Amino acid sequence: MNKLALDGLKVLDFGWVGAGPLATKDLADNGATVIKIESTKRLDLTRRSPPFKDGIIDANHAGFFVWTNSSKYSVTLNLHHPQGVNVAKRLVSWGDVVLENLGCGFMDRIGLSYEELKKIKLDIIMVSVSIMGRTGPYANFKGYGSSGAAQSGHAFLTGWTDRDPLLSPIAFSDAITPRIAVVATMAALQYKNRTGKGQYIDVSQVETMAQCLAPAFLNYFANGHEDTRIGNRSPCAAPHGVFPCKGEDNWCAIAVLNDLQWRSFCNVIGRPDLLENPKFMTIMDRKNNEDELEEAVEEWTGNRTREQVMTTLQGVGIPAGMVQDQKDLAMDPQLKHRQTSVKLQHPVIGLCGHAAPPMKFSKTPAQVRAAPCLGEHNYHVYTQLLGMSDEEFVSLQNSGVFD
């Protein structure tokens, strides 16, 4: 078996749903030993949500969990049992990193605050992911991934000019923030290598999103200008949008980014007359007459399939991409080539899709392993990694500590 980038790294995953588990998934897929702490008494939302394999509503038939938790070990541990926290502490003494995105104060309340963890392992690295951060007047804020979009300003900046802000079903901060949490974890490990010190890291979804939205904030602070929604248009490019193609609900996005591309565009769609039209001469002109411009584009795209639009424009170096849904993506040749979704044998579900890391390492290619069943690794983790005897394991199990 190949070496992996994070061989030897030991991580405890106290995460749930999205942001936390996606962060530890990145680590696990690249070789870290990630132990997900679960409980039969408190199932992760992703183990309770559809889709379920064959419609069987069961923690081990949940596709969403599989997609989010590849390559991890799963143990069940009842953190509300008096001895449960003791076992958790033993796991901490095994681990290098503890990552959590549970409700505000939860880790503190059960006796696993950073201060407590330091007593077990002075150089422990603890990473906490939340919507608003763990300090400040809104630290108690309860929310879901889309709260990140709402709080950060992203939702307000998404949508049509003449309609309400759009809260996308894609909780985008659930995509960005885990990666920042991972970078923070890796940087903390670097720091530990140099200084021997651990640390507590507090990652806020709103703060990481706001970094991505920085141009809007600089526009406000430097210019007093408040950005608002612009639909699919762009302040510095035209045509720029999503255009209807032949067939029901078929679209292609087109972005003509400069005058050179505009020239190629007009020629390839057979409209050199547009180049002579003073309404469309410069980017400013095109922006000033954008409605009319878009009509001209639609006249062309409406008579062609989205594939034709995309390949014709790509053929002359114009960024064009057809709108694809999951049916299309399941057959996408690029994703197939890159093996972005890999079919692995899951103990209960059988062969099913797991998301692979969206990057390739030349020397340490990632190895995605099947997502775990609930408590699948109890015996291995508690007896092999923690060194419990069989007697102790059985005794704790009978007392409900591993519920």
Site residues for other proteins, 131-190, by CB under 8 A, read 132-133, 135-138, 140-147, 150-160, 163-172, 174-176, 179-184, 186-190
CA gap 35, 11 in Å, rounded? 6
> Considering the rule CB under 8 A, would residue 12 count as an interface residue with other proteins?
no
Q: 233 — alpha (psi -120 to 50), left (phi > 0) or beta?
A: beta
* Residues 338 to 377 in contact with other proteins, rule: CB under 8 A: 338, 340-341, 352-353, 355-364
**For other proteins, which is the closer residue by CB, 289 or 324?**
324
Min dist. Cβ of residue 285 to other proteins (A): 16
Residue pair 154/173 in contact by the 8 Å Cβ criterion: yes
Residue pair 243/252 in contact by the 8 Å Cβ criterion: yes
* Residues 73 to 112 in contact with other proteins, rule: CB under 8 A: none
> Considering the rule CB under 8 A, would residue 30 count as an interface residue with other proteins?
yes
> Considering the rule CB under 8 A, would residue 11 count as an interface residue with other proteins?
no
Min dist. Cβ of residue 327 to other proteins (A): 6
> Considering the rule CB under 8 A, would residue 28 count as an interface residue with other proteins?
no
Q: 211 — alpha (psi -120 to 50), left (phi > 0) or beta?
A: alpha
Pick the catalytic residue from 174, 202, 325, 403.
174
How many residues of this chain bind other proteins (CB under 8 A)? 152
**For other proteins, which is the closer residue by CB, 139 or 386?**
139
The residue whose two tokens read 């005058």 is 259
Residue pair 22/16 in contact by the 8 Å Cβ criterion: no
**Active site annotation includes 174:** yes
> Considering the rule CB under 8 A, would residue 331 count as an interface residue with other proteins?
no
**For other proteins, which is the closer residue by CB, 228 or 384?**
228
Residue 228: φ, ψ to 5°: -140, -170
CA gap 250, 279 in Å, rounded? 29
Helix H or strand E segment including 200: strand 199-204
**For other proteins, which is the closer residue by CB, 106 or 160?**
160
**For other proteins, which is the closer residue by CB, 285 or 393?**
285
* Residues 271 to 310 in contact with other proteins, rule: CB under 8 A: none
Strands 97-100 and 199-204: unpaired
Alpha helices in 242-345 (DSSP H): 259-268, 273-276, 283-288, 290-301, 306-315, 326-329, 333-338
> Considering the rule CB under 8 A, would residue 400 count as an interface residue with other proteins?
no
**For other proteins, which is the closer residue by CB, 62 or 87?**
62
Min dist. Cβ of residue 138 to other proteins (A): 4
CB atoms within 10 A of CB 96: 21
> Considering the rule CB under 8 A, would residue 387 count as an interface residue with other proteins?
no
Enzyme catalytic residues? 174
